[in-house]
Structure formats: C-alpha cells, structure tokens
Amino acid sequence: MKTISAEEFDRKFDDGEDISEYIDWTTATRPNLEPVVLTVTVTRGTKLRLERQARELGLSADTLLEEWLREKLDAVTPSAAE
C-alpha cells in the first residue's frame, strides 16, 4: 500500500481519481454500521403483524423493522452519517 499526505489523498478523491492503492482494505470500516441492540416494547398483535409481513417479504423481523425505521428517519431527517 502506498502512502501520501492527507491533503493529497483528499485532492485525489475530490478529483475523482482512483485512491484504492492508498487504502488498506483489510482494515477499512464504515462508521456507524456496527450492529447494536435496541429493545422495543410492542403489543403481541404488532409483533405478530411484523413477523407475518417480514415472512411475506422473505426478511427477518429485525431486518424489516430496521428498513422501516431507516425509511421513516430519512423522510424526516435525511442523514449522510451512515
């Protein structure tokens, strides 16, 4: 992996140049994408409806709920912090 200054890296990135030779892809991560546990209390009926909808879509209830939350949050407060 080649090394350059942060300023040069930023310039190359901003100019649309290929910067992949300056990145160690074995250790690269994207911030705020690590899973965390969120406890939500809902009624049994809501849980059953969520599970049924998730099954129909071929998703887990967790995945469907996360997608719905993301869509709702993006509609209210679009964020580039993902």
Query: Does 82 score more than 70 pLDDT?
Result: no
Q: Say what the pLDDT of residue 73 is.
A: 94
Q: What is the pTM of this model?
A: 0.60
Tell me the residue range of the domain where 2 lies: 1-29
Cα–Cα distances (Å) from 73 to 16, 51, 66, in that order, read 30, 21, 10
Q: At 20, give phi and psi (nearest 5°).
A: -60, -30
Tell me: pLDDT of 81 over 70: no
Give residue-wise pLDDT tens across range 51-77.
999 999 999 999 999 999 999 999 998
Question: CATH number of the domain that 80 lies in?
Answer: 1.10.1220
- Cα–Cα distance between 44 and 57 in angstroms, integer? 20
Residue 38 and residue 25 share a domain: no
Looking at the fold, whether 45 and 21 belong to one and the same domain comes out as: no
Q: How many domains does the chain have?
A: 2
